[in-house]
Amino acid sequence: MTATHEFHVGQRVAPFVIESVEPDRIKTVAAILQDPTPTHLDPAVTRARGMGENLQTQGALNMTWFVEAAMRFAGGADRLVSFNVRFLDNVFAGERFECTGTVTAIDAGAARAELELMATANGRPVLGGTAVIKT
């Protein structure tokens, strides 16, 4: 963990990386969410739709990694105040997911820092957004 509470504007958020998204985990998330979307279940459907050969992750799973990057940088779950994420593109099993960012603002009075975060899958932008953490 990057458990520093001394942040500064321009500081880089340490990358959070999933080296290879595992397909069976996507099926577990589908079961938890009761999400019937077939591109999370059957690679034949992603293939038929011209989306490639692998299962598509759920946005909730991608968002979990986005949050994890902010949490680790903040120093723990209890230091996360809020986040907003935009889903820019799909993530697929087998891809390398990376989320990083920078500190864009510090509010010393409120003891808050704002982060701009961006995530990629195999280098392709897939998530963008912000998070506010306690300083």
Partner 1 sequence: MPDYADLAGRRFPAGTYTLPEYVCWLWSDAAQLPPVYEAHPALAHVVASYGMSVTVQDILDMMDAAPEGGVTFGEFGVEYHGALRAGATYECDAEVLEVERKRGRRAGVFDKLSFKVTIREKGSEAAVAVCTNAWIFPRANGEP
By C-beta, is 102 or 130 nearer to partner 1? 130
> Between 53 and 89, whose beta carbon lies closer to partner 1?
89
State the burial class of residue 36 (Cβ atoms within 10 Å of its Cβ: 0-12, 13-18, 19+). exposed
Residues 38, 12: Cα–Cα separation, whole Å? 37
* Distance in angstroms (rounded) separating the CA atoms of residues 101 and 104: 9
CB of 43 to partner 1, least distance (A): 14
Residue 117: C-alpha distances to residues 40, 48, 65, 120 (Å):
25, 33, 11, 10
Please identify, using beta-carbon distances, which residue of 90 and 104 lies nearer to partner 1. 90
Positions in the binding site for partner 1 (CB under 8 A): 18, 21-22, 25-26, 28-29, 32-38, 45, 49, 58-61, 63-65, 67-68, 71, 77-78, 80-87, 90, 129
Tell me the closest approach of the beta carbon of residue 122 to partner 1, in angstroms: 16
